Amino acid sequence: MKKIRYIIGLLFVIFALQVKGQDPQFSQFYSSPLYLSPSLAGATGQSRIIANYRNQWANLPNAFTTYAFSLDHYIEDYKSGIGIMALRNQEGGIYNTTNIGLSYSYSIEASHRLRIRPGLTAAYYSRGINYSDIEFGDQISRNSTASIEIPETERIHHYDFAFSVLSYFEHYWLGVTGDHLLGLSSQFANNDTYPALKLSVYGGARFKLFESVPSNIDKYISVSFFYKNQGGFNQLDFGTNYEKDPFRIGIWFRGIPAFKETADLNAVVLLIGYTFKDVLINYSYDISTSRLLASTGGAHEISIAYTFNTGRDNRRKRAGAVPCPYF
């Protein structure tokens, strides 16, 4: 097991030094709204706290672990949403990335039915390699606890920006996000230490079921998609959720084979959720469909959200809420 850890760690270091990797992605992407799009800051029309945890390739020691925390709030008088997000991604316990960002969105009533929300995130980005958890060849040959082969500590710091636009009706929404916008500059585009420009497109529809039948419990069905392009890599996800308060279930298909590099489906994601008063809890499991990844143990993901009012009428707070599913 220890040798496996060293091999994994070495591979992470090699790829970290030579390749621009993809940003981490949550299967429950709507459960990490500020990471998906700054336009979703204040999207509930209330105040909201969210915590996310993802453990990918659970059967491998310390493979990929991602944590996120966000807080956002809607300011009714200014038709604005504000938020703060922190994300920590650990690859093999060796290669670590930290993002901390401030988000702002503004709600524009384009027509009686259509609303548009531009959004902007300004973030601090840090990336580095923890060489202390790697055992080098000279340590083994010299039977030493320290290595003379350790290069200079690679720690990268810079600022980052994301811009988004979200348009939505009562039951439909469509949004676009551009992240790592400094990559549009030739200076950063040719810099291997800066993440590749990422373009995300998401959208969907959410409807109430059986409205003609009187019931004290509302039932909803939602279908939506998520597409991203980064560093020449394309990925398309599609799925559906069924909601009957206080429960939610969903099934998602990750990496739909719509592009050359996704000839096979990457994973099937199963979701179950429960709402207790103002607390929403979701759990999802990624079932790997690739032959090479089938033994990795898939991925476990948990999100917890707490939505609360700040003393104003709840109807006013939710008047401009985005119809995205609680996912």
Mean pLDDT by groups of 10 residues along the chain of 327 residues: 46 46 87 95 93 86 87 94 95 83 96 94 87 58 58 74 95 96 82 87 91 73 94 90 93 82 76 93 89 71 89 50 68
Give the per-residue pLDDT at 3: 47
d(CA 292, CA 271): 23
Q: Which residues contact 195 (CB under 8 A, 6 or more apart)?
A: 20, 23, 125, 160, 180, 183, 230
Give the per-residue pLDDT at 90: 87
Cis peptide before 61 (omega within 30 of 0): no
3-class DSSP state for residue 77? Answer: helix
Closest CA to 326 of 211, 210, 222: 222
Which one-letter DSSP state was computed for residue 316? H
Say if CB 38 and CB 177 are below 8 A apart: yes
CA 136 to chain centre: 34
d(CA 28, CA 284): 7
For 128-159, b/e burial (b = at least 16 CB within 10 A) is bbebeebebeebeeeeeeebeeeeeeeeeeee
* Residue tagged 């469909």 (tokens): 289
**Whole-structure pTM value:** 0.84
Give the per-residue pLDDT at 239: 94
d(CA 270, CA 234): 22
Q: How many CB atoms lie within 10 A of CB 254?
A: 23
Provide Rg for the chain, Cα atoms: 21
Say which CATH superfamily domain 2-277+307-317 falls into. Answer: monomeric porin ompg (2.40.160.40)
Q: Which residues contact 119 (CB under 8 A, 6 or more apart)?
A: 37, 38, 39, 40, 41, 81, 103, 104, 105, 106, 163, 164, 165, 166
